[in-house]
Amino acid sequence: MSQDLWNYLFIGLSFAVYIFIAVRSRAGSTQEFYVANQGVSPFANGMATAADWMSAATFISMAGTVAISGYDGGRFLMGWTGGYVLLTILMVPYLRKFGKATVPDFIGDRYYSNFARLVAVICAIFICLTYIMGQMRGVGVVFAQLFNIEIWAGVIIGGAIVFFYAALGGMKGITYTQVAQYCVMAFSYTLPTILIAMTLTGNVFPQLGLIGSTVGENSQPILEKLNNVNIELGFSEYTAGNMSKLNMFCITAALMAGTAGLPHVIVRFFTVKDVKAVRTSCCWTLAFIGVIYLTAPAVGAFARINLIDKLHNTAYSEAPAWFAKFEETKQMSWVDKNNDGKIQYFGPGKATEGSSGAVFAGKPDFDKEAPRGLHGQRVPTNEVDLTNPNELYFGTDIMVMANPYMGGLPKWVIGFLMAGCIAAALSTAAGLLLVLSTSISHDLMKKILKPDLTDRQEMGYARGASAVALLVAIYFGINPPSAFIAKTVAFAFGLAASSFFPTLLIGIFSKRMGSTGAIAGMIAGITFTLGYIIYFQFNLPLVGKGSPDQYLFGITPEGIGFVGMILNFVVAFVVNSFTADAPQEVQDMVERIHVPTGASEASDH
């Protein structure tokens, strides 16, 4: 059976299950559409939340980041995992007790202002659209590889599938679909890694294999081998970081705070029945996330070893068959700079001073009608960079999909992994789409513009909003601010960190904060962060595009959300010191959410 047939089999079966669940769990009311009637068990919700969290950035891109940058890739692991601890301790139990299922709903009621609610809706739209465009890009990359089509076509196909089961089933359908998707993701991610770990290290546990040694005559510790190979090829040590400490800290902190402020994650904890179930669900979520996050460093390390072993100094005519497969989809490319017919992979250390070490400018682009090169390779039309000897291009986001090919694993394992890659992108995209539609239909239309909407009309607005939001997400999935999925998603976390995290935290723990200060803080935080990201990621008319030497204190757009968060806090408290405190009834309401259920009010003696 061919590889394509195995891929179609696993993906077709998984899609059939997802669509069956969506149809069976179709939402019949707004309560079911928004919060699944609050009838989901903590175990199932923990699994669904983990699937919601295992986005394309986590599943596809994070291990690729670790493979390329080694220690520096740990910023995603630390930030995203640490954020869930903040979410569990500081946020979710109090928000759940407050009883508002959406972030804009909480902000509108806590800060007794429809204008605050409107600002929160706008923030939610920016955050979710930025996040979902990364997921759409991930779907496009997977479908492009599977069907040998352009990425834009893959994005459109994925978008249509997401709309079908997200708009149809609402939170109820998405929850049980995500339980199935998590099972697919967890097994498809860990199984290839276990098999590769056994091949490379003789250890069945990838985590132990990572700190173990290779098998064979020239056995040496995995990390030592990576350090030695990296230095030999002109890269920095695998276990040493190139990123400045300040930038590393800011990115990690932005990812942590952004996690605790993501609306599509927070709303998941309103699908269980009470605060006790919320805490239990959070613990299950951390456990299920840990399965992937504890495996990712091993995936990245093993992928780098296999890539270098299989391709570096290998004649193109003798390269593995999978290289040509990835070459056809523009995920890998080779330029024979020295005309020796061999694929050679070198880092910036082998280049002339000031060179980036890139093979050519941008991503590979081929003229399908043009003749192939002397050795049968695809010849990119990009301008070749001759200031360095590196001849091998590969996309960071392709490493997880390429790993089982490089490890020589069975075809059915590769097909199973492809199903997991698609599940990862689709699961998060569905959750984000639901939050977007809820923000518009419930928080904007029902709460502000048309309070007399019926349930039927509200669900109609929700599904219409889903369609519009998805069209925008598809456009930016095809034309993303960064071709690197994890980087695009990191922007969404920065926006959440600079807008929602401070406002929610202050709303929970500072009873005196009034609406004016909170609104000013939100606007200042997200405006600064969004402006910084746009300036450095997009080529703007008249202004142009910012260069890295203009970064504020060397902080990249991925980490600027931390600065925006500090700005939000400062502006909120400064403005509040000159304006009215929250009314007494709001202060009493904030006090009540800190009183354990069943406890009596404190009394004077």
Query: Residue 273 — very low, low, confident or very high, per pLDDT cuts 50/70/90?
Result: confident
With a cut of 70, say whether residue 519 has pLDDT above it. Answer: yes
| Contact assessment for residue 120 and residue 522, using Cβ atoms and an 8 Å cutoff | yes
Residue 232 Cα to chain centre, angstroms = 33
- pLDDT of 605: 44
Q: For residues 304 and 226, is the Cβ–Cβ distance under 8 A?
A: yes
Q: What residue spans in the chain does CATH classification 1.20.1730.10 cover?
A: 3-25+37-231+240-303+409-491
Whether residue 336 is predicted with pLDDT greater than 80 in this model: the reply is yes
In this prediction, residue 264 carries a pLDDT of: 75
Name the strand (E) or helix (H) holding 342: strand 342-343
pLDDT of residue 439: 79
Q: What is the mean pLDDT of residues 319-333?
A: 87
Quote the pLDDT of residue 602: 47
Higher per-residue pLDDT: 96 or 191: 191
Residues 6+ apart with CB under 8 A from 69: 241, 242, 243
Cα 470 from chain centroid (whole Å): 17
Instruction: Give the model confidence (pLDDT) of 551-561 as tens digits.
Output: 999 999 989 99
Sorting pLDDT into bands at 50, 70 and 90, what band is 219? confident
What interhelical angle do 151-201 and 114-147 show, nearest 10?
A: 70
User: What letter does residue 554 receive in the DSSP assignment?
Assistant: G
Share of the chain above pLDDT 70, in %: 91
pLDDT at residue 242 tops 50: yes
3-25+37-231+240-303+409-491: CATH number: 1.20.1730.10
Q: What angle do CA 473, 475, 477 make, to 5 degrees?
A: 65
Chain-centre distance for alpha carbon 304: 22
Distance (Å, whole) CA 334 – CA 316 = 9
Q: Quickly state the pLDDT bin for 265 (edges 50, 70, 90).
A: confident
Q: Give the chain's count of helices (H) and strands (E).
A: 24, 4
Residue 285 above 70 pLDDT? yes
| 144-148, 199-203, 405-409, 418-422: least confidently modelled range | 144-148
pLDDT tens digits, 522-552:
999 999 999 998 888 877 777 777 888 889 9
CA atoms in the 13 A half-sphere facing the CB of 385: 22
How many whole angstroms from its chain centre is CA 578? 39
